[in-house]
Structure 1
């Protein structure tokens, strides 16, 4: 396809999505299914108008998926309810650590004994497919900063953390393949890739988020208030935190998510403070002509909420482009029994079992456990890890094998989760309302 044809295709899709939001909201499937269907139609599976080669374009695709995941992680972080309570965060933390580890182990075992891959490749494949996706799972994630739904909070928080907690397993798989230094008996991997990279990533993110919250609050509360560009501040925070963290060999995805969480939590705490000292007189103009609260939102403005206005359209645009590319990467021959079996094992065995084990003893109700076990959506994050591995020297035959397996898992996740999300979530909320009524 020429550049003009690409502009035409994307433009038509954007117009259709922009003109039919009400119809799409009522439709029994998600928008990602439409993007995937269009990609399959114009790609090599049908009309063959274009083919995006992920092996040759791995550097470009890594950059595109990296940006998409970062924006989505930031959006997820600033929607986290406040105040922070460990009792509420315990469930997603267990999912992002214990359940993540179990999923990687189960997927690696399946890859070795069923697909015939070496252990290094099996662990790498498990790490690629284990994290749930913050980009494609918007229908089961927190919708706005005031959303208190426990299921959506759990899935959003898990997706925000496990895109970073999967990195140590990616590096372990690369190490076993001879593409990354893990040290004698794996000690370098444990000390650097697990403890240092994880702890430093979280610390950098928290410090940066708190610092920006205090700086923006101070500027807004000064005697001569400053008008701030919240969207630029949000993007700037993402760029600085991610850049610094990666330069220090820590996990940037974790840092960006926790920077957003810390920004949101700190801003809400600072918002409870009086805007000006009581002994500071109001300007004469303000006393003579008081400004209605509805026309002066600056006093309540926060970077976290203001930046969402810009981030959510970017999320939707990145979802459209990347899912369209997924369809353009797939051939009919890509649908091997091994790839489909891998996807079914992940959706029906590895994910539910890992969630059940990870949440043992937490007291999480069975309705939330079952829904969490099913809605482990795979997507853009998996594509990023795959491209990351290819850029680190993955041999071409193995890279082609992992590309085929990953693309089919992502495509099937878009289909099966995209079709089931609305009816199952509707049933979940109705049952919850019925239980409240009964009590």
Structure 2
């Protein structure tokens, strides 16, 4: 709370002007102070938590997602309407980078432990294509659009493509795998894609920064390809898998030891996230990708150790009561696992981070920043780039036309894109360009929250009914 609570919060009266290159002028901000105390923040967050908790059943029955309510409150209380609070994404970029980083890590780990295992090429082929092939096509289309339509530098277009291309693991919970072992093909594809494309997007973010002179990519991009693409991707998968498998074996050994050892699964799960991410970043690999595969490996190894049976498709049964370990137990009790016991706690953290960050997102948006450029880019991303890239990426797979069509629409943008934006700003983007990219990114995220949030439940209900 203290990190986001300065005794004087800056409010922005924006009169949007553009320079000769069409970028938002950095001198448009005239500041005036408004006091937002610790007590104000506690009451605001407390009211939102109470409302969300007490109205859980009502919100579940409504044809919209909870993120819409959080964003609407943020817009009402933010600089768009009541001016109660505001956040300048440039001045608060360091804090927002850390906050969004933590939220994405928790969400990626939760997604990882819910993935059907083992990882087989036949089952994972479609989401792998979405995460790498469709991702690359989306970045290329967004970069071309920004270069030819907005006359932005090519490096800025690639950077913006890397920021906006990945689907979000935090805000897309309504279309993601709901529990460990969920076999629904649509939810599996979307969850697996969101888990992997936060790692596959990073090379394009670094390429864009490199073309803008803010990162070393080497002659003809050799350093970028060898380090940021090949090593960073493969290394993250290896590190994450090793960490997850090792923890599963240690936890299983401790629980099977005599005298019996208790394991604090919540802390152990958080510790795995921190260690896997820290190792990946230290070794210059993509930490998001490492944490996702740490969750996958943790779940897979625990099921193997428990002797979980396989279903007709060869997937390990997630119900531990059917495992060899459960049948061998004198009381026939299902064995406890770190992945299952920690998952409930991680989902609570996901909901809390979604509430906080979407609320702050509303405080970063001001309707005066809207322009045909921002809305046009969002429309191009949602209605052209995403569907086209999905159809191309899934060409040759056994996915049906209906499945490709609905997958092409559910490309939710959210907290992950905010993280990449803050990461780029922290790496020295020029202020005018940073303002422009913030306006384009935040507008796209806001429109995504409303468009996808209002269409998710009705479309999914019709898809599954048919």
Question: Which TM-score band applies after superposition, normalised by the shorter structure?
Answer: over 0.9
Q: CA deviation at 1:2?
A: 1.8
Q: CA deviation at 1:400?
A: 0.5
Superposition map of 1:140-289 within 5 A: 140-272=175-307, 275=325
Deviation sequence 1:326-360 (CA, Å, 0-9, x none) = 11111121221110000000000000000000000
For 1:350, the equivalent position in structure 2 comes to 385
Deviation sequence 1:184-227 (CA, Å, 0-9, x none) = 11100010000011111000000111111111111111232211
Q: CA deviation at 1:275?
A: 4.7
Question: What's the TM-score, normalizing by structure 1?
Answer: 0.93
Q: Secondary structure at the match of 1:142?
A: coil
For 1:323 and 1:15, locate their aligned partners in 2 and report how far apart those are by CA, in whole Å: 16
Superposition map of 1:65-84 within 5 A: 65-84=100-119
For 1:286, the equivalent position in structure 2 comes to none
Count of aligned residue pairs for this structure pair:
416
Deviation sequence 1:347-380 (CA, Å, 0-9, x none) = 0000000000000001211111011100000000
For 2:162, the equivalent position in structure 1 comes to 127
For 2:152, the equivalent position in structure 1 comes to 117
Deviation sequence 1:26-70 (CA, Å, 0-9, x none) = 111110000000000000000001111110010000000000000
Which blocks of at least 5 consecutive residues in structure 2 are unaligned? 1-35, 308-322
8 Å contact 1:136–1:379 — kept in the other structure? yes
8 Å contact 1:97–1:165 — kept in the other structure? yes
For 1:12, the equivalent position in structure 2 comes to 47
8 Å contact 2:163–2:421 — kept in the other structure? yes
Q: CA deviation at 1:84?
A: 2.5
Q: Secondary structure at the match of 2:98?
A: helix
For 2:338, the equivalent position in structure 1 comes to 303
246-255 or 221-230: bigger deviation = 221-230
For 1:28, the equivalent position in structure 2 comes to 63
Instruction: Give the structure with the higher percent helix.
Output: 1
Q: CA deviation at 1:85?
A: 2.2
1:369 lines up with 2:378 in the alignment: no
For 2:314, the equivalent position in structure 1 comes to none
For 2:280 and 2:397, locate their aligned partners in 1 and report how far apart those are by CA, in whole Å: 32
1:407 lines up with 2:422 in the alignment: no
For 2:457, the equivalent position in structure 1 comes to 422
8 Å contact 1:221–1:275 — kept in the other structure? no
For 1:7 and 1:336, locate their aligned partners in 2 and report how far apart those are by CA, in whole Å: 34
Q: Secondary structure at the match of 1:300?
A: coil
For 1:253 and 1:82, locate their aligned partners in 2 and report how far apart those are by CA, in whole Å: 19
Deviation sequence 1:122-159 (CA, Å, 0-9, x none) = 00000000000000000000000021100000000000
For 1:274 and 1:125, locate their aligned partners in 2 and report how far apart those are by CA, in whole Å: 50
For 1:21 and 1:146, locate their aligned partners in 2 and report how far apart those are by CA, in whole Å: 24
Superposition map of 1:50-61 within 5 A: 50-61=85-96
For 1:325 and 1:334, locate their aligned partners in 2 and report how far apart those are by CA, in whole Å: 17
Q: CA deviation at 1:114?
A: 1.0
8 Å contact 2:74–2:363 — kept in the other structure? yes
Q: Secondary structure at the match of 1:307?
A: helix
For 1:335 and 1:24, locate their aligned partners in 2 and report how far apart those are by CA, in whole Å: 29
8 Å contact 2:241–2:297 — kept in the other structure? yes
For 1:437, the equivalent position in structure 2 comes to none
Structure 1 residues 274, 27: CA separation in 2 closer, same or farther (over 3 Å shift)?
closer
For 1:416 and 1:24, locate their aligned partners in 2 and report how far apart those are by CA, in whole Å: 17
For 2:137, the equivalent position in structure 1 comes to 102
For 1:40 and 1:66, locate their aligned partners in 2 and report how far apart those are by CA, in whole Å: 23
Which blocks of at least 5 consecutive residues in structure 1 are unaligned? 283-289, 432-439
Question: What's the TM-score, normalizing by structure 2?
Answer: 0.87
8 Å contact 1:352–1:374 — kept in the other structure? yes
For 1:328, the equivalent position in structure 2 comes to 363
